Structure 1
Amino acid sequence: MAKTDVSGLSQLGQAVAQPASPEEAALEKVPASHAGTKYVVRFTAPEFTSLCPMTGQPDFAHIVIDYIPRDWLVESKSLKLFLTSFRNHGAFHEDCTIDIAKRLVALLDPEWLRIGAYWYPRGGIPIDVFWQTGPAPDGVWIPDQGVAPYRGRG
């Protein structure tokens, strides 16, 4: 069985302070032990929070990130710290979503990545943001993200 090399990590197994902003958050990666094998890695953050840049009010989202690794995997503790660094960060829904995706693509150079950000309504309108690097590769099972569209009381 393959063993993942974690020797270059600075956060895993350590007490780490919460980053004050996404820019300060250190995303880390580890070698993909199964390079050359096409499989999907999914991270789900059902309690993502950020701040409205205009009002300072909290915004909440259910975020699903799917990617097909090439040579690297994102280290999950660093991803959690990165995602929670948005808690006091003021940005529009679209900016948060795309910034997360682009940061992961820059770190990992995955074969494919998609993000679905299902934002809870504020002001009566939910805003859902979706992005992917391109068409999904053939021959890989990519499940539905499983987040129902907002229906209100209907």
Structure 2
Amino acid sequence: MSGHDVSGLTQLGQATELPASPDEAVLERVPAPHQDLDYAVRFVAPEFTSLCPMTGQPDFAHLVIDYVPGEWLVESKSLKLFLGSFRNHGAFHEWCTVEIARRLCELLEPKWFRIGGYWYPRGGIPIDVFWQSGEPPVGVWIPDQGVAPYRGRG
């Protein structure tokens, strides 16, 4: 299999608007190539934005998403639109981070999944949120997420 089966995708190659909310966002998947091998896939969203549900002010995070595919990969344009749909959505850091993981795990049924939500300070306190589905498969190279703890001005 070449890994290029895009049948059934509704957003790739089309003009698409940013969904108004995560509930309206459509995540899509494509068959994973090399299903006979375990390998890691990483997405980094260093400019993730949502809104504080109390003040309406913007919150910013650096997200790192790692997973070991089963049968499916997330289609990257749909992921980009899904993450962008949080831009005008009010929710706490913890909800946003774990909701992204939940939606992706439901869609992909990966062999392993983890997300690191490295949130920038609000009120002087950074909040980092982490979740993973369990232990990664043996022998899969899972690099460190590479995001340093918040250090302020240095």
TM-score (norm 2): 0.98
Query: In 2, Cα distance between the equivalents of 1:46 and 1:3?
Result: 27
1:95 Cα deviation (Å)?
Answer: 0.1
Q: Is the 8 A contact 2:3 2:31 kept in 1?
A: no
Unaligned runs of 5+ in 1: none
Deviations 1:68-92 (A, max 9, x none): 0000000000000000000000000
| Aligned ranges 1:92-103 → 2 under 5 Å | 92-103=92-103
1:54 Cα deviation (Å)?
Answer: 0.3
| Aligned ranges 1:120-135 → 2 under 5 Å | 120-135=120-135
| Aligned ranges 1:5-154 → 2 under 5 Å | 5-154=5-154
How many residue pairs were aligned? 154
RMSD over equivalenced CA pairs, Å: 0.9
Percent of paired sites with the same residue: 77
Query: In 2, Cα distance between the equivalents of 1:145 and 1:63?
Result: 9
Query: In 2, Cα distance between the equivalents of 1:82 and 1:117?
Result: 16
- SS where residue 104 of structure 1 aligns? helix
- SS where residue 83 of structure 1 aligns? helix
Q: Is the 8 A contact 1:50 1:90 kept in 2?
A: yes
